[in-house]
Amino acid sequence: MKKLYIFILKSYIGPLILTFFIALFILVMQFLWKYVDDLVGKGLEWHIIVRLLLYASSTFVPLALPLAILLSSIMTFGNLGENYELVAMKAAGISLRKIMMPLVMLSIVISITAFLFSNYVLPIANLKFHSLLYDVRQKKLALNIKEGIFYNGIEGFTIRIGNKDQDKNIIRDVMIY
């Protein structure tokens, strides 16, 4: 029975890791799409962007982990059924409950780890993410204002910029209401 459990776990771990990183990648790309206006044109160094993505990806771990567990278990049992290994196990008299036992135990361990991650690591990562994002947004504020469009981002003021020079960080034809 031990060899069977090891076989099932080995066939489960690969898809679990792969689907976890694919789901995490999709969520991080959605984050980039949302915050691309805050990041582009600021002259940020690469390590700041990597830190921002790292903090954001730690925020998405609790979202990507259940997807990875579900998809990898479907893929694992699908492959076992496709290769008739599941039929062979059932023909040997092994119940489905015993076949699923290593995955249930691993899912419990992953759930406890995810709870501890969400309880201890995630608040710190969220704090660092939002403080770094605030710092990034405050850098070169003139680049956030588009040319020829009224900008209401500053409370109590409406600003319109005629044109701006990206190289020299100069803005011209500024109207403030």
Q: What's the confidence (pLDDT) of residue 167?
A: 64
- 133 in the same domain as 164: no
- 66 in the same domain as 90: yes
| Spatial CB neighbours of 16, under 8 Å, sequence gap ≥ 6 | 68, 69, 72
The model's pLDDT over 128-148, given as tens digits with 9 standing for 90+, comes to 999 998 888 777 655 567 777
Average pLDDT taken over every residue of the chain: 87
- 23 in the same domain as 65: yes
The model's pLDDT over 92-128, given as tens digits with 9 standing for 90+, comes to 999 999 999 999 999 999 999 999 999 999 999 999 9
- 162 in the same domain as 127: no
Query: Could you give the CA distance from residue 58 to residue 5 in angstroms, rounded to a whole number?
Result: 31
- 50 in the same domain as 123: yes
The model's pLDDT over 26-55, given as tens digits with 9 standing for 90+, comes to 999 998 888 777 777 667 788 888 898 899
Q: Which among 122, 86, 125 has a CA at the least distance from the CA of 103?
A: 86
Total domains in the fold of the chain: 2
- 155 in the same domain as 115: no
To the nearest 10°, the Cα dihedral for 32, 38, 43, 45? -50
- 46 in the same domain as 31: yes
- 111 in the same domain as 86: yes
Q: What's the confidence (pLDDT) of residue 62?
A: 92
Q: 160 has which bridge partners?
A: 150, 175
- 69 in the same domain as 28: yes
Strand bridging mode 159-165 / 150-151: antiparallel
Q: What's the confidence (pLDDT) of residue 154?
A: 74
- 112 in the same domain as 54: yes
- 90 in the same domain as 27: yes
Supply the range of the domain harboring residue 130: 2-139
- 108 in the same domain as 171: no
Q: What's the confidence (pLDDT) of residue 143?
A: 58
